[in-house]
Chains A and B, each alone.
Chain A
Amino acid sequence: MTVVQEHDRLQASALGEEPIREELVLGNPSMRDVTARIASIVESKITMKYLATLSVTGAMAAWGLFALYYTITTGIGVWGLNNPIGWGWDITNFVFWIGIGHAGTLISAILFLFRQKWRTAINRSAEAMTIFAVICALTMVLSHTGRPWLFYWLLPYPNQMNMWVNFRSPLMWDVFAVNTYFTVSALFWFVGLIPDLATLRNYVKSDIAKKVYGVLSLGWTGSTRSWHHYEIAYMILAGISTPLVLSVHSVVSFDFTVGILPGWHTTIFPPYFVAGAIFSGFAMVLTLLVITREVLDLKQFITLKHFENMNKIMLATGMMVGYAYILEFFIAWYSGSDWERWIFVNRAFGDYAWAYWTMFTCNVVSPQVFWFKKARRNIPLMFVISIFVNIGMWFERFTIIATTLHHDFLPASWGYYSPTWVEISIFIGTFGIFLSLFLLFAKFVPVIAIAEIKSIMPGAQPSHHHHDTHESH
């Protein structure tokens, strides 16, 4: 903010008018306040409430891991899969979790490239969420292979069978896409963390914490010579993460589209999957941040303005998936293919109609309230809607998988699929893993990007100097 803008803003507030742009950090804290506020989360004693929550999520994770152990030692016959339906909750959960991760990358990379300053308060937690969600997705997809201890068969390595992996298969593209996504997200997150870990290293009192943050911050000093390279590295990582996030869910959708099954073999899938992924990811970020903001008292940094922006993105992406749902029916009719037409009529009115309409109501109808500013700034309401969207997006993947598979081309191979307790337990377990990791993150890692928040505070950047005043906002 330049001095002139600052002056205008102050004058506007003095006249009792709303400032043109809402403040992103409330209460006008000093830089030291920001450091102290974020560091106090790390330094504070672990409360009973925290331990109680962590033990609940830990128990969920343990229960899921037990179900996973049972699956691996017995075989995936313990799941509800049957002959026409070879993919069930396993792949539904995989696509669901991968999708959740996408909002993190969108917030950290795409909003960075668009110079959306509001991202700085939420990018750290959204990126963490990405990594944890991809861990859950990998758990699902590895267990679904049936013999996960042979996971390395998916990698191209010289072996005694003289065989290579089949690069013509979209499942192989998926291996590369998901692993690249995990690696790049983790690197991006860590690079962002280095300066803040250094801040904690210099701030915390306890010797052990000082040592741990000291090692993790790699000896970062905040030298301008380092920042100079750092900013370029951050820009490049944001630049490559943007096409990466679009590619990952496109490749996930290839798992379906490259098959020739009616209901899957469609060109709209890549953009439709990406929009859905961002939609579900924002819903999950919102669910988590509403709680985090309350529990860690971060109202100063995560403001209604942030929530409002996220709700706008949810409204937009919700409309995109709604458009895709309707367009699919048109294309099925327009294709003239009996199989295509039938599978879509069956999707909306067949055995899984309940899943289809749950999805439609949650994803298309419920976000419509966000047309109203009052609704976009109403925290209890947005919390409920975000949960609806999470449910709806899970059902979207389930609908796509189950409706296409359960009625094959021949009525002789028709079937119905419901999960067993094992699949349900594994799904609960992935939530346990996800929430436990997020809780640990929220306690031990700076949840707000300290250096980035400081760089957007009023007066943080040179103003009246002849150097790039036009760039200093």
Chain B
Amino acid sequence: MSTTPTGVIGEFTDVNVVVTVAEKLRDAGFRNWDIYTPYPVHGLDKAMGIKRSILTYISFVGLCGGLTTALGLQFWTGAVDYKLNIGGKGFFNWQFSMPIDFELSILGTALFTVFGLFHLCRIPTWYNRYQDDASFQKATDDTFVVTIDADDDRFSATETPALLTGLGAQNVHLVHSTVE
């Protein structure tokens, strides 16, 4: 086991306290830190100073891609590549293309949203530096877990744990990597 810590961890149980803590850590200038919660806490992202998600733009690209594919596919196959007269209907009309335009727009948006989400959340990921820590695992149950990584410029193996304890964190401890 390496002797240098990879980060510090602290537990909170009160949701109101954790929002205040988020603001204080944000204002203290930390960068590589996070709060793990069992469910999304309203306003915590804002308190942590997280910027607006770009996911909506990714989804919009998916929508445009789906719509373009649908229009292009129906126009090119019907009116360019192989013109087939069926009951005297037009080779391409926007009216009859609507259902497929709509469905492929939805499909494009959904695929881009989900895979965009995976990309932004960095999942799938099979390793996390805190994964074997008992406190960390409580974050999916009932505890709000604050972590500050050792590679943060402001991290100090003595002062940062003291800071968390001062803010009301319980069970504050340094975490050492289990991977050599």
Contact = CB atoms under 8 A, between A and B. Distances in A.
Nearest to A32: B142
Most buried by B among A183, A233, A240: A233
Interface in B29-71: 34-48, 50, 53, 55-56, 59
Contacts of B35: 223-224
Contacts of A177: 99, 103
A470 B144 CA distance: 22
Contact of B103 (A176, A220, A222): A176
Contact of A202 (B44, B74, B84, B137): B137
Interface in A188-243: 188, 190-191, 194-195, 198-199, 201-203, 218-233, 236-237, 240, 243
Interface of A: 30-32, 35, 156, 162-168, 170, 172-173, 176-177, 180, 183-184, 187-188, 190-191, 194-195, 198-199, 201-203, 218-233, 236-237, 240, 243-244, 247, 251, 254, 451-452, 454-455, 459-465, 467-468, 471-472
Nearest to A172: B100
Nearest to B112: A236
Q: How large is the interface on B (under 10, 10 to 19, 20 to 34, 35 or more residues)?
A: 35 or more
Nearest to B98: A173
A191 B35 CA distance: 21
B118 to A, nearest CB: 7
B106 A240 contact: yes
Interface in B9-24: 15-16, 19-20, 22
Interface of B: 15-16, 19-20, 22, 34-48, 50, 53, 55-56, 59, 73-74, 77-78, 81-82, 84, 86, 89, 96-97, 99-100, 102-104, 106-107, 109-111, 113-114, 116-118, 120-121, 123-128, 130, 136-142
A203 B140 CA distance: 9
A228 B142 contact: no
Nearest to A472: B42
Contacts of B127: 219
Nearest to A183: B107
Contacts of B109: 236, 240
Contacts of B50: 224-225, 228
